[in-house]
Amino acid sequence: MSKDKWNEDHIEKRLRDMPVVKDQRSKDEIMQRLKEDSRLSEPNGPKKRPSKSKWPPILAAIAAIVLLTILMPTFIQQNNEVSMEQATTEESADPIEVESSEEMQSNDASDASVFTRQASTPLSYAAYPSDLMGHTVFHIGLATNQATIVPVTFLIPNERLAERLGTSPDAVALYNEYAKTLDEEALGFIEYHPYKAMISSNGKQVQMKFTADHTYDTSSATLEMLNRSVQDTFLGYDEIKFLQEDASPITFDQVGQVEEPIALSGMVSHQAYYRFLKSDGEVVLSTNFGKTTETVEQALNDMKVSPNDVYSTVVPKEIDFTVKVNEELVNVKFTEELDLDQMQPEEAMQLIDGISLTAASFDKYVKFDQVKQKHWNEFDFTQPVEKPIGANPHYLINE
């Protein structure tokens, strides 16, 4: 017999032998017991969990909407007031200062650089007397990475001149005030100014007392750059004297002791102007390393040909002209009618400005003949063109 079978019989016998359990209580006793049981005294049915009221969330949402309805107009009004106030402030601000602040944000200029705008005049390579209205002219010769000097004419608004300069500052006063503030690299030149010298004037003579650590005589080229630079900078003076710091005559390694002052030619330099391409791609007008000529006829005819690889002619090869001089007037007559509108605007301007600058270097005006346009840009070709007062103009605004 299996063990499972034995267990089943054993269990069954045990169940039969268990005593019968009987409830001896009467029905009345059972009923009374049930009545006395507190668990059965509550209402019939399962106990329900009290549900949360749905009204509080709804009331909160309504209250929020009402609050936003009240506050929103006030917020919008305040925001509009702020916007209007900002707009009014911007409109009332000086446009130059607004533009300056934008440029200052885009440039990490040093505190010494007070000039924040150095903008070229629109498509012009020469400054004329009409450009001087309300401005003071500041001439300076800036250096390039090709060991050349380019004459630059800055036009400073009179209302922004330093008060200590007065109303008619001369070239020395302007140089001492503004040369140290120029950002020459931003203009496409190399750092060259201010000179390593103390600069003053005595009558019509400029005096430069060089510091002991100057490097202007390291080569003949650097010495020539110094000479060309002062020629293009100190216009209005007759001569310049180079001195040591103690005011004694200076000795340059390339030429020895310099005892005599050097003559300054100013605008009447007897030089032809050519096109020069700077390293930043900008075209300017400059002279051929300061080379001079005896007559204005020779200078104007020399302009028709590029003198070297550094400078190129402003006269297109298909254009020719004749030159006739009558005292202070130079008549430039094109052999064929010149249509300036058929030329590139910058080439046409370089042609007119280059000829005008060359004639001005002989203290003469130009009358152009055989030009199709009687009026072009600011020029009236029915009359002699104004005599230029400088090359490569820039507006310079002292912020």
Secondary structure (DSSP) of 339-392: -GGGS-HHHHHHHHHHHHHHHHTTT-EEEEEEES-SEETTEETTSPBPPP-EES
Confidence check: pLDDT of 177 > 60? yes
The pLDDT assigned to 164 comes to: 82
Distances (CA, A) of 167 to 8, 127, 158, 160: 132, 20, 8, 11
Lowest mean per-residue pLDDT among 15-29, 42-56, 257-271, 380-394: 42-56
Confidence check: pLDDT of 182 > 70? yes
Tell me which residue of 363, 153, 359, 384 sits closest to 272, measured CA to CA.
359
At 96-152, the pLDDT tens digits run 443 444 443 444 444 334 443 455 444 689 999 999 899 999 999 999 999 999 999
Dihedral sign computed on CA atoms, order 296, 300, 305, 306:
positive
Tell me which residue of 115, 114, 116, 97 sits closest to 106, measured CA to CA.
116
| Exposed / middle / buried, residue 58 (Cβ in 10 Å: 0-12, 13-18, 19+) | exposed
Tell me which residue of 342, 330, 328, 392 sits closest to 371, measured CA to CA.
342
Confidence check: pLDDT of 215 > 70? yes
The pLDDT assigned to 282 comes to: 95
Distance CA 171, CA 4 (A): 129
Question: In the predicted model, what is the mean pLDDT of the chain?
Answer: 82
- List phi, psi (to 5°) of 149: -115, 135
Confidence check: pLDDT of 279 > 80? yes
Full-model pTM? 0.71
At 320-355, the pLDDT tens digits run 999 999 999 999 999 999 999 999 999 999 999 999
Lowest mean per-residue pLDDT among 59-63, 235-239, 252-256, 292-296: 59-63
The pLDDT assigned to 65 comes to: 63
The pLDDT assigned to 38 comes to: 58
Rg (CA), the chain: 47
The pLDDT assigned to 168 comes to: 87
Give the angle subtended at the CA of 232 by the CAs of 140 and 119, to the nearest 5°: 35
Residue 156 bridge partners (DSSP):
136
Lowest mean per-residue pLDDT among 101-110, 253-262, 381-390: 101-110
> Residue 160's pLDDT band (boundaries 50, 70, 90)?
confident
DSSP 131: G
> Residue 51's pLDDT band (boundaries 50, 70, 90)?
very low
